[in-house]
Structure 1
Amino acid sequence: MKRFASLIALPLMLSVAACSGEAEKGAESATSGEPIAAIPAPAGKNWTETVTKTDKGYYVLGNPDAPIKLVEYASLTCSHCAEFAEQAFETIRDKYVASGRVSFEMRNYVREPLDLTASMLTRCGPNESYFALTEQVLANQADIFTKAQAMGQQRFEAALAMPDNQRFVALADGTGLIDFFAQRGISRDQAMQCLTNVDTARALADNTNTATKEDDIQGTPTFFLNGRKVEFTGWPALETEIQALGAR
């Protein structure tokens, strides 16, 4: 999608970074550890359906005490993030998270207003719906871009100029996101409530700025394994690093 010139005009402190195909190289490569035994979920539970929210407002899929912790900084409007989700998410969930050995934390790194609007909407349902909604946005990214382009720059800029508690409603309406999420279980009333919550928007923007400064995030997707930033050259290499930590 040709980026609108006004995408960085949002009056929130947004850090705009490039959508990058790789993260910076970490200080060291993964070490090969002993295989870790599978960790059963509590009775009546399934790790692939267990989602917890962190103090910073991020979401963790799986065993919150998993010995291997995979973290992804992702943008919902980053094509490389969409590619990674298509290639890897099912395997991460069904092979690694399901075993209880690995948890997967998604951290929204919002790059511009459309990204921020979609990120707000993924938080409209219960915690358990966050990953499914996020995956749906990434899987349908091209269609969302097409509708955003059809909105036109004049209407887009007019939406950005609205008061804080109206701006994201106008963007979501104009880009078809309200209808998109309604088809996936988030009613219009729910969407309105989420999109008028300026605190959510500010928290997402603040988290992005903090990540830029504290974790040196320069692009998306960027990955951490057990707190160590890893070089990302594709899913096969990242999976090898996960296995080297004992998930095998």
Structure 2
Amino acid sequence: MRHLFAAGALALAAFITPAQAQEDGADTAAPEIAEMALGPEDAKVTVMEYASFTCPHCANFHKGPFKELKADYIDSGKIRFVYRDVYFDRFGLWGAMVARCDGSAEKFFGISDMLYEKQREWTQGDPATIADNLRRIGKLAGIEADAVEACLNDRDKAQALVGWYQANAEAHDVNATPTLIINEQKYSNMAYDELSAIIDEKLAE
């Protein structure tokens, strides 16, 4: 489980886009951040995951327990699953900006799978190399190169995402990843059999 460092998160605003765009001082409305979710909104149980695309433990969760969770509970409409971004570093933020580029949950979760499956590959190298790796992932996901570039360098969106993450993490007292919130109750990372037992219990209430 990877632990958060508040100072590092707050410092993200200083280097949040690959282009390192400068502030122009203009007052603009913060972009709206879409909640990325799967499953019916009126499901009896909602499982919310706080995770980072650069967190190895999160990658392990998505390669294992999440696939079982999706097959057993999400695809059948038994639960609603909500993914909440956590940013340890600018690279996790950049990954989220590519994943959110299309704006749809379907595309987001598809790119998320790629980011976690290829985590050890795209996170290697200097910032320019990592940005190029993310551009390639966006292209593989079917997003036009110009669109990926615009998403990666959308400073307003990046700042809005950082603020959104910080507010969410504070509200749920999230200090490590992955953290699960099941019907507003906080849980640490766990094996799938433990997770499914908790979900079954809540479904039976």
- Could you tell me how far apart the structure 1 residues matched to 2:181 and 2:33 are? 16
Q: Confirm whether residue 129 of structure 1 aligns to residue 129 of structure 2.
A: no
2:39–2:80: 8 Å Cα contact kept in structure 1?
Answer: yes
> Secondary structure of the residue that 2:141 maps to in structure 1?
coil
What TM-score comes out, normalization by structure 1 length?
Answer: 0.66
Which residue identity lines up with residue 53 of structure 2 in the other structure? L
The aligned residue for residue 11 of structure 1 is 13
The aligned residue for residue 212 of structure 1 is 169
With over 3 angstroms needed to count, the CA separation of the structure-2 counterparts of 1:231 and 1:221, relative to structure 1, is closer
> Secondary structure of the residue that 2:143 maps to in structure 1?
coil
- Cα shift at 1:10: 3.6
Which of 40, 57, 61 lines up with 1:63 in the alignment? 40
- Cα shift at 1:56: 4.8
- Could you tell me how far apart the structure 2 residues matched to 1:216 and 1:224 are? 10
- Could you tell me how far apart the structure 2 residues matched to 1:213 and 1:246 are? 27
With over 3 angstroms needed to count, the CA separation of the structure-2 counterparts of 1:177 and 1:232, relative to structure 1, is closer
> Secondary structure of the residue that 2:64 maps to in structure 1?
helix
1:13–1:205: 8 Å Cα contact kept in structure 2?
Answer: no
1:13–1:206: 8 Å Cα contact kept in structure 2?
Answer: no
Name the % identity.
Answer: 28
Q: Confirm whether residue 202 of structure 1 aligns to residue 159 of structure 2.
A: yes
Which residue identity lines up with residue 202 of structure 2 in the other structure? L
Which of 70, 80, 95 lines up with 1:103 in the alignment? 80
The aligned residue for residue 89 of structure 1 is 66
The total of aligned residue pairs comes to 180
- Cα shift at 1:237: 1.0
- Could you tell me how far apart the structure 1 residues matched to 2:154 and 2:189 are? 35
The aligned residue for residue 121 of structure 2 is 143
- Could you tell me how far apart the structure 2 residues matched to 1:195 and 1:186 are? 12
Q: Residue by residue, what CA displacement relative to the aligned partner does 1:20-65 show, whole Å, maximum 9, x if unpaired?
A: xxxxxxxxxxxxxxxxxxxxxxxxxxxxxxxxxxx75221101111
Which residue identity lines up with residue 107 of structure 2 in the other structure? S
Runs (5+) with no aligned partner, structure 1: 1-6, 15-54, 160-169
Aligned-residue RMSD, C-alpha: 2.3
- Could you tell me how far apart the structure 1 residues matched to 2:189 and 2:121 are? 27
What TM-score comes out, normalization by structure 2 length?
Answer: 0.79
- Cα shift at 1:231: 3.8
- Cα shift at 1:232: 3.0
The structure number with the bigger radius of gyration is: 1
1:12–1:205: 8 Å Cα contact kept in structure 2?
Answer: no
Which residue identity lines up with residue 68 of structure 2 in the other structure? T
- Cα shift at 1:230: 2.0
- Cα shift at 1:124: 1.1
Q: Residue by residue, what CA displacement relative to the aligned partner does 1:82-129 show, whole Å, maximum 9, x if unpaired?
A: 000011222222220122220110001111011010100001124121
- Could you tell me how far apart the structure 2 residues matched to 1:191 and 1:171 are? 14
Which residue identity lines up with residue 230 of structure 1 in the other structure? Y
Runs (5+) with no aligned partner, structure 2: 1-7, 17-31
Worse overlay, 71-80 or 119-128: 119-128
